[in-house]
Amino acid sequence: MLLLSIFGSPRRNGFSSRLHEELIIPFKERGFFIERVYAYQTDVKPCTGCGWCSEHPGCCINDGMTDIYRLIRSADIISISSPLYFSSFPSPLKAIMDRCQLIWEEGRRNKPVLKTAKGLFICAAGDEYKCMFDGVSMGIKHFYNAINTSYSPEDAILYPLSDSSSEISLEFIEKARIIGERYSAL
């Protein structure tokens, strides 16, 4: 079984990354093969909306996304973590997500559809205000739908007030581990 973990933070020790690592622990313990992708270390250019993938196989941009497409197609579970940047995703993570238009286009053309994976999402925000996670919550839902991945929003880990402390709340660490346990047992 393959867990593809995409880290959207530029900081490997930031709140979203640390919660992501907690989520991964049960998968390691159950013998999953784990592939980590760090968005800030990839060579993925943004989608240009050129339309190539709507009529042709593959993407006309030749970069690091080729390997990520392979991982997405073979993953059983895909977990994504992200800090909240102005109620959205950081641009390197968003570039990866946008480039998956290719996968959506393949499905639209009735090409071989991806196996159905399961998706998980972790997001950390420095502050707390009404509706602050709405943008990323809608974005991740649409992204997982586009890549034929089932996603349950109630299993999302949405962590507010990360700027208020250097330590992650034990409640959220426990939630990450519980969700990891549940999904690694599927």
In whole angstroms, what is the distance from residue 179 CA to residue 156 CA? Answer: 9
Percent helix / strand / coil, the chain, rounded to 5: 45, 20, 35
Low pLDDT (below 50) residues in the chain: none
Q: Which domain holds residue 33?
A: 2-184
36 phi and psi angles, rounded to 5 deg: -105, 135
pTM of the model: 0.95
Contact 6, 79 (CB under 8 A): yes
The pLDDT, as a whole number, for residue 112 is: 59
Helices assigned H by DSSP within 58-129? 65-74, 91-99, 101-108
Which pLDDT belongs to residue 111?
63
* Runs of H (alpha helix) within the chain: 15-29, 52-55, 65-74, 91-99, 101-108, 134-146, 170-184
Locus of tokens 């080729």? 66
Query: For residue 22, what are the contacts with CB-CB under 8 A and spacing of at least 6?
Result: 173, 176, 177, 180
Give the chain's domain count.
1
> In this predicted model, what pLDDT tens digit does every residue of 43-65 receive, in sequence order?
999 999 999 999 888 899 999 99
pLDDT by residue (tens digit) across 131-150? 999 999 999 999 999 999 99
CATH number at residue 99: 3.40.50.360
Amino acid 72: pLDDT? 96
